[in-house]
């Protein structure tokens, strides 16, 4: 229960910061990586529900087109979680391939989600896609990396009941 409250507060503060200072934080650069971190931290329906609610609130506040990016992020994250059970991946990891890296699936979900989000903003122009995406990734990748490193560290020190990766 405490973890759920912490994620709710963290996502709420990210929404507040992103709406209050849009010139510092690009659209989706805080909420999307924290939502993905929430899904991969909790690894259950509650995490998907919390992240989906935060992404839908962001969509309502940003007044962009249809929330296709929200749907794609949630579906990709659910597929990544369902395919990455600890019994299937040989916990602890014994492979060293990039495809089996613990950070690879969340990073792919983030990149796909941010690309869709950047292309669905209301003032979309094809020549502005890369600068918008680059500025969002400069904030989103460190936020997601910090979230994943904290989750991995919590697993290594035994602060969680079940392993994440």
The pLDDT tens digits for 93-135 are 445 555 567 788 888 888 888 888 877 775 667 777 777 778 8
Q: How many domains does the chain have?
A: 1
How much is the average pLDDT of 69-78?
A: 87
Residue 99 exposure: Cα atoms within 13 Å on the Cβ side: 1
Q: Has residue 149 been placed in a domain?
A: yes
User: Which range marks the domain in which residue 152 is found?
Assistant: 2-156
162 falls within a domain: no
pLDDT of residue 163: 45
Q: What percent of the chain has pLDDT over 90?
A: 13
Q: Is the pLDDT of residue 74 over 80?
A: yes
Q: Which residue has the tokens 């963290």?
A: 10
Q: Is residue 163 domain-resident?
A: no
144 Cβ neighbours under 8 A, 6+ residues apart: 33, 36, 37, 106, 107, 110
Confidence of residue 9 (pLDDT cuts 50, 70, 90): very high
pLDDT band at 53 (very low <50, low <70, confident <90, very high): very high
């Amino acid at each position: 229960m405490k973890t759920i409250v912490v994620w709710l507060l963290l996502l709420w503060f990210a929404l507040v910061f992103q709406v209050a200072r849009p010139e510092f934080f690009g659209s989706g650069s805080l909420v999307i990586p924290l939502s993905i971190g929430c899904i991969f931290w909790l690894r259950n329906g509650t995490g998907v529900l919390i992240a989906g609610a935060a992404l839908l609130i962001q969509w309502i506040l940003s007044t962009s087109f249809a929330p296709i990016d929200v749907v794609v992020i949630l579906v990709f994250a659910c597929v990544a979680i369902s395919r990455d059970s600890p019994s299937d991946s040989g916990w602890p990891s014994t492979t060293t391939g990039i495809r089996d890296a613990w950070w690879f699936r969340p990073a792919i979900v983030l990149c796909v989600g941010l690309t869709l989000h950047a292309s669905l903003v209301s003032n979309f122009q094809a020549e502005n896609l890369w600068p918008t995406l680059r500025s969002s990734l400069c904030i989103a990748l460190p936020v997601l990396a910090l979230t994943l490193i904290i989750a991995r560290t919590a697993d290594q020190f035994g602060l969680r009941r079940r392993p994440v990766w």
